[in-house]
Amino acid sequence: MNASTERTGAPLNTASPARTRSTGDFARVNALLARGRTLATPVLRAAVDRLAPPMDTVAAYHFGWIDAEGRPSDADGGKAVRPALALVSAEAAGAPPETGVPGAVAVELVHNFSLLHDDLMDGDEQRRHRDTVWKVHGPAQAILVGDALFALAGELLLELGTVDAGRATRRLTSATRKLIDGQAQDISYEGRVHVSVAECLEMEGNKTGALLACATSIGAVLGGADDRTADALEAYGFHLGLSFQAVDDLLGVWGDPESTGKQTWSDLRQRKKSLPVVAALAAGGTAAGRLGELMAADVKKSQREFEDFDEAEFAARAALIEEAGGRDATTAIAREQHHKALEALDGIDMPDPVREELVALADFVVVRQK
């Protein structure tokens, strides 16, 4: 994919920390994402090959290596942001990027486990421009393959058999538990009328921040970093994760399906209490009041009734969210968390080119359109 600056979801914060400045170097981002895919994919494919049929085929479909009929394909397998972060973090610890590969693959496996289950829980029919796994292969396969990817992640790390692999595995299991906590919080919020911005940020820190924090810290640990450096990179990854999720929330309401590969209004269809929604409701005023009334009625409806809404109903909610300031508030949060991520890098000594790579990846996360 191409990192694009054409239509900026959350423009970059110009007031970067002193030592770690934004550069907007998206050619570098594309090279880092491509390197992550090149180094991680063979290990990912070998891991998937360990699965018993038909799970190996189902997983290969999910990763875009085959189509629904089993023919070879090079469909979109995801941006591979987490592998790229893990490899650069290994470099930040002074090691070659290859050192981070098992961590990069383990985190990508956990990420994809969560997507498989999330699509099923949300009833989402489209991901990465294609039908979701549960839609093509059924719910049982989506659950089993998700579980299997999670198990493979632990297996890959523990097979390294080193002390650092043990440290990395602890970070991965702890992040996975937080990811599950976050998902449980997210789903419980769908049925609530009032969710505060603080609750939403806590949920998003668990659901998304923890795994990006794991990608960076696990790459650093496998690169031989001490705990102080790994923790600083973890802080960078965590804030980057919050920024990433804030942008995801913007795309979940206003994203272009051509870019996102998902349905229009994807978060509104699911009644998600995402940041734009909770920030709009918290703002007060006429638009927030009207939105609150609609959402109070929405939570009483069944998902089927809700799915029967026509597009105008979702458009009306999106307009009220925007009018109440939910879009601007979420953009501000994305920028604030991007700033905090760069601040966390200020405390780490690393070669300038590696610092620039981490900055470029952070910049990309804020302006991405998919």
Ligand X SMILES: CC(C)=CCC/C(C)=C/CC/C(C)=C/COP(=O)(O)OP(=O)(O)O
Residues of the shown chain interacting with ligand X in the complex, contacts defined by CB under 6 A: 78-79, 81, 114-115, 117-118, 128, 179-180, 183, 207-208, 245, 248
The least CB distance from residue 250 to ligand X, in Å, is 12
Residue nearest to ligand X (CB): 78
How far apart (Å, rounded) are the C-alpha atoms in residues 143 and 126? 17
Nearer to ligand X, 181 or 328 (CB): 181
The least CB distance from residue 176 to ligand X, in Å, is 8
The least CB distance from residue 351 to ligand X, in Å, is 27
The least CB distance from residue 81 to ligand X, in Å, is 5
**Distance, CA of 339 to chain centre:** 18
Nearer to ligand X, 75 or 332 (CB): 75
The least CB distance from residue 108 to ligand X, in Å, is 8
The least CB distance from residue 127 to ligand X, in Å, is 7
Nearer to ligand X, 124 or 164 (CB): 124
Nearer to ligand X, 79 or 355 (CB): 79
Nearer to ligand X, 17 or 36 (CB): 36
The least CB distance from residue 313 to ligand X, in Å, is 25
